[in-house]
Amino acid sequence: MKTYNKYIAAIALSLVLASCKAPMATVIKDEVKENIPQNFNQEEQQDANNNSGTTPWRQFFTDPNLVSLIETALKNNQELMITLQEIEIAKSGVLAKKGRLTPTVSAGIGAGVKKAGRYTSEGAGDASTEIEPGKEMPDPLGNFEGGLMANWEVDIWKKLKTEKESAVAHYLSTVEGKNFVLSNLIEEVADNYYDLLALDNQLDIIQQYIRLQQKALEISKIQKEAAAATELAVKKFEAELAKSKASEYTIRQSITEKENQINALLGRYPQPIVRTKESFMSTIAPTVYTGIPSQLLANRPDIKQAELELKSSKLDVEAARKEFYPSLEISATLGLEAFKPSYLVKLPESIASSLAGELAGPLINKSAIKANFQTADARQIQALYEYDKTILNAYLDVANLMSKVKNIDQYYQLKSQETKALDESIDIANQLFRNSRADYLEVLLNQRDALDAKMELIEAKQKQLSTVVDIYKSLGGGWK
């Protein structure tokens, strides 16, 4: 008999050891992070001590109206509020995983009745049992109980701790996700604000052009009466005036839509946007210092978010792998139990307790555990690709915007020269037209060219300011 028990114990031990075999996770290597270039532009050396991405947004933006709009957006934006709730959800996930590390204790009471067959071992035992002299066991037999129950999975492989660490990493990633939403929100408000100022200035230009066309029309009518011009010239100026007035209403509609777009970002119903349009064209974009590419890893919240999600996915793989190992569970109960309520107070006879430990591991049907492990392993690789993509896109964003800043500055300077020259040509053409030394087509073409150039100059100023905002955000600025 002793030999038989030894065989049983040896077989059980062998089965437990067999269940401990677990597949290995895929070894991943982050080559994109390791090979990040030393500079954004190989022709220029960047200074690691100067990085505009670390500048708080209140210092970066100096327009008080824009600062006020950003403050309102940070308080009321719905997308930001949704992201804050994601943080609360992730925080609850951490608490749930942490709770699994400690024993579960519950209290309960119960009552029931049972009748066992007379010719069963339990029924025969009850019939022959006397609780007190002359008193047989009641039939049917009641059962009344109350007490404490505890259950604890001992974390012998640190699986539960690993799951908690994964939840913490995910929680921290949601915090970085919130920071990324903040950075994007500030960029959107600033870009739309500059768009609105550009539309205001374009409206002023088109209104000036309308007044110019009205004067030209009056001159053409006077010249027609003096036989110095034809009806064709009058009609051409009338058509140009109507076209300009139509453009005015198009710009007005764009202004309304842009105001409402800003109000949507601010989480409020439509209302006028306070702004000062007069200083728009003289606004000087702040100088942006890029620092070095490796600083993106610490400054950009989307990169840090992806990094934390990668860490969380690695821990998930580790936890899934430990599911192949045996688990140890300990359960205990302590309370009072009797077949009659009045006997519950009879101590110590009514005291009931139990203590049990169970070591169990998967043996045959491991398909669900394998599938869970393979899923976690695939998600780990997926998270690495997402992390690499985020780093690469961040580097390319800054590199492209650095080039754009330089080119848009040159474009703006040349457009300024073009506008100045065309303004002078308009004066010359009008003077020649009044003296019948130039026809109406020359006047119209000069005025159209000047209008287009001024509109493009305003757009260039808007792009100049928005590009600086975009590169500030791409460097990781805005959320601090």
For residue 256, pLDDT over 80 is answered with yes
pLDDT of residue 3: 56
pLDDT one-digit tens code per residue, 184-236: 999 999 999 999 999 999 999 999 989 888 887 887 788 778 776 678 878 88
**More confident position, 240 or 95:** 95
Residues 189/69, Cβ–Cβ less than 8 Å: yes
Range 33-51 average pLDDT: 78
Euclidean distance between CA atoms 302 and 178, whole angstroms: 9
**Sequence ranges of the domains in the chain:** 1-475
Where would I find the H helices in 144-286? 159-225, 231-265
Percent over 70 (pLDDT), the chain: 87
Amino acid at 236: K
User: Which DSSP string corresponds to 414-464?
Assistant: HHHHHHHHHHHHHHHHHHHHHTTSS-HHHHHHHHHHHHHHHHHHHHHHHHH
Residue with the bigger pLDDT between 25 and 469: it is: 469
Which pair of structure tokens corresponds to residue 345?
């107070």
255 token code pair: 């202004």
- 297, 312 contact by CB (below 8 A): no
Q: Which residues of 283-305 are buried (b: 16+ CB within 10 A; e: fewer)?
A: eebbebebbbbebbeebbbbbbb
Which pLDDT does position 20 carry in this prediction?
Answer: 57
Task: Write phi, then psi, for 324 (nearest 5 degrees).
Answer: -75, -15
Q: What's the confidence (pLDDT) of residue 135?
A: 62
Tens of pLDDT, residue by residue over 394-448, are: 999 999 999 999 999 999 999 999 999 888 887 777 676 666 666 666 777 777 8
Model pLDDT, residue 10? 46
CA distance 420 to 425: 9
pTM, two decimals, is: 0.84
pLDDT at 390: 95
The pLDDT of residue 218: 84
- pLDDT tens column, 132-183: 665 666 667 778 888 899 999 899 889 999 999 999 999 999 999 999 999 9
The CATH architecture of the domain made up of 1-475 is Up-down Bundle (1.20)
Query: Picking from 119-128, 351-360, 410-419, 466-475, which range would have the lowest pLDDT averaged per residue?
Result: 119-128
Which of 12-16, 23-27, 233-237, 265-269 is predicted least confidently?
12-16
